[in-house]
Structure 1
């Protein structure tokens, strides 16, 4: 009987040791991931991948295709869907919808909250009065873990929000 107790005690110590080691590696992985996200945001070189759309009118909807906002030091590229009310009709015969921008002229401001979240405001500076989809601002709120929300404000459409995550930009 004493042998069984000793075996059970050794097994318990091994189990506890494995769990403590596993917890340390999880914490180390999380810290490394947060440092990677911080570097991407500070270097202004990342992609926001949208996976959920929250229009101002109507219901929320999961996104099944690949939609994103690519941010670099010199370029903003947006390929996002749009669901909601537009106050100006598109050109006749146009099937182009969504929030599509590719510009090198933009304002970029980054602030850090006490909670560790980053708040990024992007204002495209190219204004095309003939463009009915004119985007005023992109407001991006990113957590230290890389999850975020994006609010898009347009001049002639209802605002729309997206939930998603940040990842490294592919070259």
Structure 2
């Protein structure tokens, strides 16, 4: 009788501990998600972030997984695009050896509109490039999709994520 009372008390105690631990874990998970969303929001509002491409989706062909070296860096005064291109070109530049999506510009239009279900729609229109528009859809969790439309090439899309710009150490 005494041993069954001890077993029941131990069982009740373990249920209480699991319930409290589970509730705490859910609170911390929700807090981490809210902090991540706030960080992404601050990066986008400050216009100081990097879109790191993970996969490329050309109009024709298959999805290509790419290395994390490819990126689109956005700052308040410039755009640096280092992205690959897979697709059909309607006109070609003679002697071109680098990707048409590998450029730097300080002349561009930038609009940022919040989405109804969270996240942002960002439209970037470089003025001095073959690229007509770059539409970036960013979700609260930091993942996003970039659609690039060009004047003389098929459109291409990229999936990836947003992160803050890492400062590079200067060599002495």
TM-score relative to the length of structure 1: 0.92
How far apart are the structure 2 equivalents of 1:15 and 1:29?
Answer: 21
**Is 1:82 equivalent to 2:85 in the alignment?**
yes
Q: Please name the residue that 1:130 is paired with.
A: none
* Aligned-residue RMSD, C-alpha: 1.1
How far apart are the structure 2 equivalents of 1:140 and 1:65?
Answer: 17
Contact map agreement 1:57 1:84 (CA 8 A) in 2 = yes
Q: Please name the residue that 1:121 is paired with.
A: 123
Q: Which runs of 5+ in 2 are unaligned?
A: 168-172
Q: Deviations over 1:108-159 (max 9, x none)?
A: 00111211120010011125xxxxxx11111001111111100001111100
Contact map agreement 1:79 1:98 (CA 8 A) in 2 = no
Aligned length: 164
Offset of 1:98 from its aligned partner? 4.5
1:18-29 counterparts in 2 under 5 A? 18-29=21-32
* Structure exhibiting the larger radius of gyration computed from Cα positions: 2
TM-score relative to the length of structure 2: 0.91
Offset of 1:18 from its aligned partner? 0.7
How far apart are the structure 2 equivalents of 1:96 and 1:30?
Answer: 39
Q: Which runs of 5+ in 1 are unaligned?
A: 128-133
